[in-house]
Structure 1
Amino acid sequence: MNIYRTQSEQVLKTAQVNKQLKSGQIIQGKIQQLYPDNKAQVQLGNQTLIAKLEAPLIAGERYHFQVQRADQMIHLKVLGERLTGKAQENITQLLQQLGLKSTKENSILLLRLVKNGLPFDKKQLSKAIQLLGQKENGRLAQEVILQMITRRYPMKESIFQALYTEKTTQQSEVMQNLLLKLREDSAAMSNNKAILIARLQSLLYGTVNEKEYVLNNIRSDTYTESNPFFQVLKSVGVVNSDLSLSSWKSMWGNASVSSQKGKDWPLNVTPPEIMNILKNLLANKQEVMQLSLELLAKLQKRSQSSATNSETREIQAQLIKIAALLHNRVDLRANYQQFDALDIHILQRLETLSNPSSYVLIENIIKNMEIGSSHNLPGKHFLNQVKHYLSLSGITYENDLLNKINQPQTVKELLISMIPQSDGTVHELATKALNHLNGLQLQSVFETEHFIQTAIHIPAYKPGINKDLKIEFESKKTSDGKIDPDHCRILFYLELKNLNETIMDIHIQQRSVSITVFNDNEKAKLQVAAFQPLLKTSLERMNYHLSGISFKPLQDKPNISKQIINHYSSSSYQGVDYLI
């Protein structure tokens, strides 16, 4: 049976289908009606098409077809005889024709592919069966295989492991287990391990008050090889320039935040003052870098020859200028300005201040702190937490590399570099964490020509949230390929301590918002009703109108994965004619 274009306006649609159907792929179809001139109406998947027959087929019967060629004209070969009314017999026959074992698991997988109208080839199915045998949870493994074929992923073990790990573990659990193990191995702490610990802590627990935050950064820094935060604090005069690294590390063994300036806090600068100094430095980045570079050149020149009094005064003036940009406290300015021009310490300070990587570190410290500063504004805090996760997790790692977007070292980047150098439990946990991130990435975006769906998973970082938070967005694409904020759908999947499983399904049409809450707890209605006036007012501020909130039991919850399959099927074969 060959597939012809019977009308000129169907040329574009035929081209679109040819991109989906590939040589060797198999799909089930039904001959719905026979026409004169050896033509027939054929149903393939969810689509009805017109075909010209070159094989004697019977109206009303189903057949398995294999793609022989998929270029300007698609050729389908009929596999075996017409199908019987018994699905199991048809599947067994197809497995035999493909030379594959007719086991219960293989039959169930193949039956699900056929029922969903998904095309597949023998090599793909053989690899899928091989992967299926690796997992005890066969049903879940089948879900992963079905998803891989639905989304046209290569049938590779790495992709299978990533998706399977994501479905069988919670991101927060995986991160927590890895974090605990890394802390146990602190004796063999490397720079990357220390940064990874800090990243995991930040993603799991969010940010805390300034005192705890500064202390956590200092303690994490003591485990690194280069101790960049220590060097930055030295460069701005918070730490005496002659303090050794070993003395610095020993200072923090018993340090706590219970007393900001007492014996438990070994600095004469409070954590809020440290944060202000860092903010001042970042705000005056260009000027401080320029002054530091100029001073370095002058000091290096001075070390080679005697300097005049005017040159010395000029150097002193520039140091005073830098100090004024950093500090409001007079004592700190004075401490910063006391130096011997030939002393190595002043050169180290200026080298740190002229180094761009110092400012990347400071920017990340300040940004992470600011995410937690809005804890009294839940909405803003939540949005910041999402941005924080996208920035540090590595969920956009490859895209950032491709587009040369400068980001701080992410969890994924650190895992990739650490796994080859690790072994034992650390290697196992790090691999699982990387697989989980890869699984999330693979499911983060699904799109067709006119439709887009995105998903974000945020670790359960707040008390009362028992599992990771999942958010899905779906809509037709705008002209620039993005989600349309005026016409879209947003779903929140929550597992709450008191209300248990809860799904919020938000539909937006012409900026009118309707919300359906899926929950089996009667208390949910009371909880939502209490916040409805605030929600209505907040939406109006953003030029949205709340049209209503309804409640349904969880048994009526939406099945997004099924909708994705339908999108796949409908976008694959629409309006195309075949020759069989």
Structure 2
Amino acid sequence: MRLHKIASDGITKNLRQELRNGQIVRGEILKIYPNQKAQIKLSNQQLIAKLEASLVIGNKYHFQVNKSNNTIYLKVIGEKLKNQPKQDYSNLLRQLGMKSTKTNVSLIHKLMSEGIAFNKMQLTSALPILDAAKDKKVAQEVLQVMFRRKLPMNEAIFKALYIENISDQSSLMRQLLQQIENDPKYMNLSHELNRFVEISQIDKEQELLLLQANPKEQFIQQLNRYMKLMDFSNENRLLNNHINQQETFKNMLVQLVSTGSGSIQEQGEKLLHFINGIQLNSITETDNFIQAFLNIPGERLALKKDLELEFKSKKSEDGKINPDYCRVLFYLDLNTLNETIIDMNIKQRAIFVTIFNDNESLQAKTITLLPSLKKGLEGISYTLSSIQFKSVKEQREVKNSPIETKSNAVYQGVDFRI
């Protein structure tokens, strides 16, 4: 998971979220009605509420959600806001009894601006984690993901996502292999690591020939090998948290971390955290969407770095991936073309491709490949609608997925009380 991945981890961020007990929200008084009623704007929602406090039209406040007897009460936190975010969020932290540091204020600002739900208990757990992190920017991004996905706010999950973000999987594998490959205790683990990162020159030449002859088959083979290694071979087992009791690669790592010592234990722990991060981040589902992310070692695919693949899709009526409406993104670092992002958008089986790369001659060099690409897609009932070329410098992050939808519903009735 890199920063581009975290930034695009937004399948649900613009969807209207149900207010939760203890949640802290920012609201504006839009209108005052007779009988102590008012129209209030909370993020991208509007509602008619019963007032039990003296509030003023146009003023903004922080509220804490409290549910009781099927009624939602909004408790005002502190005074009216001054429309100065740093000062307002600093005051909010003090009202909650927390330290008003620059990094803490920045995190609150990001959560509020992104419409990510949070409560006091989560903040109490998250802020010490942020304070202890070396890279505050990455830590904030990771914590945002944890808040958005409602993951438990603890050190173990944070470390898994944090290390996955700042590390390279192949490098972690290679470093561990160098330390254990001559130790008979770790023979099985060494064998599994060898399958991904340790290739002799002869094997490299053979792999390259196979890749050039059958690139699709080689990619699928590497993907399947990786899915099996990471114990992702059964999606239902993963989603239902069923654990494979056989000696999987991860189980061997857990054993190494629990029985090893020194640098071997430390390196094994880093790789274990990375894999935990991959598994936590591999599949995200809502009622209408599914998002998957994979980080595949790139050495056997003749790549300079690991391949990152992100997939988003609407669900079909039976809850499965809808091949007519989906999006696939490939994050690559190629030997000649260097950093490359391929964004493939599918709508009603029409494919719109955007290639991000800083090589100015790339578009001219790929024109001759378009007919075979169109023919190949037509063979599987897809139509190539367009291909665009953009600079990575021009757009560092791939944003604004068309499968994300915004909700600005106005809710009527007295269903909230302040």
* Structure 2 length-normalised TM: 0.85
Task: Report the Cα distance in structure 2 between the residues aligned to 1:126 and 1:63, rounded to whole angstroms.
Answer: 21
Q: Deviations over 1:17-47 (max 9, x none)?
A: 8x94332221111122223332222221222
Q: RMSD between aligned alpha carbons?
A: 3.2
Q: What's the secondary structure of 1:485's corresponding residue?
A: strand
Partners of 2:222 and 2:300 within 8 A in 1: no
Task: Report the Cα distance in structure 1 between the residues aligned to 2:397 and 2:101, rounded to whole angstroms.
Answer: 32
Task: Report the Cα distance in structure 1 between the residues aligned to 2:309 and 2:327, rounded to whole angstroms.
Answer: 11
- Write the letter of the residue equivalent to 1:201: N
Partners of 1:389 and 1:458 within 8 A in 2: yes
- Write the letter of the residue equivalent to 2:184: M
Task: Report the Cα distance in structure 1 between the residues aligned to 2:37 and 2:198, rounded to whole angstroms.
Answer: 65
Partners of 2:130 and 2:140 within 8 A in 1: yes
Structure label with greater radius of gyration: 1
> How far does residue 168 in structure 1 lie from its aligned partner after superposition?
0.5
- Write the letter of the residue equivalent to 1:204: V
Task: Report the Cα distance in structure 1 between the residues aligned to 2:285 and 2:68, rounded to whole angstroms.
Answer: 23
> How far does residue 421 in structure 1 lie from its aligned partner after superposition?
1.0
Partners of 2:211 and 2:301 within 8 A in 1: no
> Corresponding residue for 2:72?
74
Partners of 1:199 and 1:410 within 8 A in 2: no
Q: Does 1:498 align with 2:339?
A: no
Task: Report the Cα distance in structure 1 between the residues aligned to 2:303 and 2:217, rounded to whole angstroms.
Answer: 18
Q: What's the secondary structure of 1:106's corresponding residue?
A: helix
Q: What's the secondary structure of 2:132's corresponding residue?
A: coil
Which structure has more helix as a fraction of its residues?
1
Q: Deviations over 1:499-528 (max 9, x none)?
A: 121111111112111111111211321343
Q: Does 1:38 align with 2:33?
A: no
How do 1:132-531 and structure 2 match up within 5 A? 132-183=130-181, 186=182, 188-190=183-185, 193-204=186-197, 376-395=213-232, 400=237, 409-462=247-300, 465-531=303-369
> How far does residue 409 in structure 1 lie from its aligned partner after superposition?
4.1
Partners of 1:32 and 1:59 within 8 A in 2: yes
Q: What's the secondary structure of 2:251's corresponding residue?
A: helix
Q: What's the secondary structure of 2:387's corresponding residue?
A: strand
Q: What's the secondary structure of 2:322's corresponding residue?
A: coil
> Which of 98, 112, 120 matches 2:96?
98
> Which of 59, 83, 94 matches 1:85?
83
Q: What's the secondary structure of 1:440's corresponding residue?
A: helix
Q: Deviations over 1:37-67 (max 9, x none)?
A: 3222222122222222222212222110101
Task: Report the Cα distance in structure 2 between the residues aligned to 1:574 and 1:197, rounded to whole angstroms.
Answer: 59
Task: Report the Cα distance in structure 2 between the residues aligned to 1:105 and 1:406, rounded to whole angstroms.
Answer: 40
Task: Report the Cα distance in structure 2 between the residues aligned to 1:574 and 1:490, rounded to whole angstroms.
Answer: 34
> How far does residue 559 in structure 1 lie from its aligned partner after superposition?
4.1
Instruction: Sort the Cα spacing of 1:34 and 1:574 in 2 relative to 1 into closer, same or farther, 3 A.
Output: closer
Q: What's the secondary structure of 1:549's corresponding residue?
A: strand
Instruction: Sort the Cα spacing of 1:203 and 1:493 in 2 relative to 1 into closer, same or farther, 3 A.
Output: same
> Which of 35, 54, 60 matches 1:56?
54
Which structure has more strand as a fraction of its residues?
2
Instruction: Sort the Cα spacing of 1:534 and 1:474 in 2 relative to 1 into closer, same or farther, 3 A.
Output: same
| Percentage of identical aligned residues | 40
Instruction: Sort the Cα spacing of 1:387 and 1:205 in 2 relative to 1 into closer, same or farther, 3 A.
Output: farther
Instruction: Sort the Cα spacing of 1:451 and 1:88 in 2 relative to 1 into closer, same or farther, 3 A.
Output: same
> Corresponding residue for 1:341?
none
The unaligned stretches of length 5 or more in structure 1 are 1-15, 214-368
Partners of 2:312 and 2:326 within 8 A in 1: yes
* Structure 1 length-normalised TM: 0.63
Task: Report the Cα distance in structure 2 between the residues aligned to 1:75 and 1:445, rounded to whole angstroms.
Answer: 34
